[in-house]
Amino acid sequence: MRTRYDDLWGIGELAARAGVTVKTVRFYSDGGLLPEASRSAGGHRRYGSDALDRLRLIRSLRTLGLSVPEVRRVLDEEDATDGLGQALEGAVAERLRELGTEIRSLRWREAALRLVQESTPGERADRLQLIGGLSVPPSTAPLVRFWRGWLPPRMPRRSVDAFLDVAVPQPPDDPAPAQVLAFARLNALTLGPCPGAAQPQPEAHRAVGAQGAAVLYAGLAEAYELAGVQLRRGREPRPGEALDCFVDAYTSAYGVRDGEQFRRGLAGQLATDARIDRYWELVAEVVTEPGRRPEPTPGTAHDWLLAALAAQTGTPPTTAV
């Protein structure tokens, strides 16, 4: 009487029981993933009942998208420890990371296709060129390089990293077509040549040097956060805690005292830069879900504070050339 425990199966019978092809069984056998119990007198492969469990496990792991080397590591660990442990957990975690990237890529491609579909014939050539400059999913590397060139040389790394965390928006995982267009324009803007002087910072920033800039940008980050609260409430630029914090960032960096004269001079030194303003406009489009009120950015907060300072001192800000 045949029993599941006594009998050995040929390769065809094992394949039929597992629901795979003979070629599949042979592939895993030749690769050492599926041990043979013995060979018949004619040299045919024979498998025990445990081979069916092993083959089903292999098939499950492959269905999850694990590579053959990953499957091998999982099976080796199971043989050594009599259980599925860290090798499986690690392989599944890695596959989930890869799958997340693949899903993001598909969502960006879908949104880019919809952008082209929704564009007028006159818009399509320009938008296709913009999209062609993006990787999928998009990289923030051009934006990081843009700001590294803008920041003072030899600025402490911790301060640079803190600034970049605020200044560089992360691409949304599931973008709308408008967000794809905004990020593509942002990418093109940061890749373009910088007009004017080699160092585009306002003189008020350049004068403090690398160490002073670390103090300055830390203070500005706090001021921008306070101004963001006012922007969300729809309030017009005006003196108050946010503006005081903004000015204090400069007095701390310069090592001077606040006062009417200092504020008037600061308002005259801080230039508005059309390119930087455009950067922050596009950032707002990238980080704001379509149909919602634009999210405050460091750029819009800076403009709000600069307008408040100009109104308080009666000194309109200069415009960068």
In DSSP notation, 171-200 reads: PPSS--HHHHHHHHHHHHHHHSPPPSSSS-
Q: pLDDT category, 110, cuts 50, 70, 90?
A: very high
For residue 115, what are its two tokens? 């952008």
Between helix 86-118 and helix 68-81 the angle, nearest 10°, is 150
**What counts of helices (H) and strands (E) characterise the chain?**
15, 5
- Give the pLDDT confidence of 57-106 residue by residue, as tens digits: 899 899 888 889 888 888 888 777 766 778 888 888 888 998 998 999 99
Q: pLDDT category, 10, cuts 50, 70, 90?
A: confident
Instruction: Report, as an integer, the average pLDDT of 24-33.
Output: 88
Q: What is the identity of the amino acid at 237? A: P
Answer whether 279's CB lies under 8 Å from 186's CB. yes
* Residue 233 C-alpha from the chain's centroid: 29
> Could you give the 3-state DSSP secondary structure of residue 318?
strand
First-residue to last-residue Cα distance in the chain: 95
Please tell me the predicted confidence (pLDDT) of residue 44.
Answer: 76
| pLDDT at residue 4 tops 80 | no
Looking at residue 67, what DSSP letter applies? -
Please tell me the predicted confidence (pLDDT) of residue 269.
Answer: 78
* Residue 38, beta-bridge partner list: 46
Please tell me the predicted confidence (pLDDT) of residue 176.
Answer: 95
> Could you give the 3-state DSSP secondary structure of residue 38?
strand
Please tell me the predicted confidence (pLDDT) of residue 87.
Answer: 81
Please tell me the predicted confidence (pLDDT) of residue 244.
Answer: 95
Please tell me the predicted confidence (pLDDT) of residue 321.
Answer: 37
Model-level pTM? 0.75
- Give the pLDDT confidence of 226-260 residue by residue, as tens digits: 999 999 999 999 999 999 999 999 999 888 999 99
For residue 108, what are its two tokens? 């960006």
CB atoms within 10 A of CB 94: 14
**Distance of alpha carbon 317 from alpha carbon 303, whole angstroms:** 10
- Give the pLDDT confidence of 190-210 residue by residue, as tens digits: 987 665 544 556 666 766 777
- Give the pLDDT confidence of 143-201 residue by residue, as tens digits: 999 998 888 888 888 989 998 998 999 999 999 999 999 999 999 999 876 655 445 56
Instruction: Quote the mean pLDDT of the chain.
Output: 85
Peptide bond into 137 cis (omega under 30): yes
Please tell me the predicted confidence (pLDDT) of residue 3.
Answer: 43
